[in-house]
Structures are given as structure tokens and as C-alpha cells.
Amino acid sequence: MKDIDTVNMSADDWDEQNFPRPETNDFDRVVERAISRRGFLGGVLAFGSGAAAMGNGLLSGTSAEAQAASSRFPFTPIDIQTDFDVHVPEGYSWQTMMRWGDPLFSDADGYDVNAGGGPVEGSDRVFGENTDGMETFALNGRTILAINSEYTNRGTNLPAEQEGVPANAGDVRKLQNLQGVTVVEVAEGENG
């Protein structure tokens, strides 16, 4: 077996290396079955109608306007963006609620993500990194948000001289604290 640099490997790559996925899975088979049976005829009819309308100049390919014409949403969808910014439909706005390293408690210190993190003390009181899912819950008139922080980047969270390798139990604990599930209450304030 050849040597693999696991220090600089992302958690996704590590997972794939240790637990490779099959080329196809049950979900792929379900989709394939749906497309080959019911979906085929409906897809042909929808495509034929769309092609006819495009031929008459009523729709223009996959533009946002064409999507909005057949959309069930009350806004014009935005086109695909690749500039690493957040884009929302016209009439909507966005703002950051939490960032990696933000304190979760009024008496907690933030986590300096640009300086290789911080000490293990307090690392369990900041927002984790690499979020990949969230859910909102209503509880007794309050809004609760649960966010999953899937994994940590060791090379970023440990001092540079360690090259991403934990030097002690404190380093391991810090990495553990920065992943998992964060549960917060969301309340409207002066800025939204």
C-alpha cells in the first residue's frame, strides 16, 4: 500500500479513501426506474412543448425568465453563478447570521480563524466549521436552528509548525469541539 498524506486530505477525500462508495446505489436505481417508466413520456411531452414554444420565440432556453414562466415560486430564479458570492432573487436580501469561530455565548471569546485558531479552552463555545446541513424548529414561540459541522481542517486549526498533526490531547479535543451539531436560538434584532 502506498503512503497517503492524510494530514492535508479533506475529510471527504479521507472518507472516500477509507470507505469507497459503489458506482451506483439504491437511489440511482430509483431515479433510473422513475425516468425509464413514468418520466419518459412526460419528459418527452414537456420537452416537445418547450421546443415548440422556443421555436415560436416564447421561451429562451434555460434563462431565468423562462424558468420563472413555468415556476411555482413567486420570484424569478437566478442563473447559475460562479463568482463565490451569494446571489438572491430580485427583491430579496441576505446577511450572515454566524461564521466559523463566532462566539455562541455572550461571555465567550471568538475564535481567530486567521491565526490558526486558539486554545482548547473556549473552542466548545464557538460556531464550528464546514457546515453541511441545518434544520429550523419552532419551539414555544421561539425559532431554533440546528446546524451540522461535518469536519475540521487540521491544517487550519492547529499551529502552522505542527503541519496539521495534533501534538497532544488538547489539540484533539479542540478539533472535536469544532465539529458536531450546534443548536442556537434565532431572534429578530435591530439589524434583522
Give me the tens of pLDDT residue by residue for the chain, a chain 192 residues long.
467 777 777 777 777 888 888 777 777 777 677 666 555 555 544 444 444 444 444 434 455 555 555 566 788 888 888 998 999 999 999 988 888 889 999 998 888 777 666 788 888 999 988 888 899 999 999 999 999 999 888 888 887 778 888 899 999 999 999 999 999 999 888 877
Q: What is the CA radius of gyration of the chain?
A: 23
pTM of the model: 0.59
Helix and strand element counts for the chain (H, E): 6, 3
**Does residue 178 contact residue 123 with C-beta atoms inside 8 Å?**
yes
The grid coordinates listed for 140 are 414555544
* Alpha-carbon torsion, ordered 76, 78, 79, 82, to 10 deg: 180
**Hey, CA dihedral for 9, 10, 15, 21, is it positive or negative?**
negative
Which strand (E) or helix (H) includes residue 76? none
Nearest to 177 by CA among 108, 84, 115, 82: 108
Domain-by-domain residue ranges, the chain? 1-59, 95-192
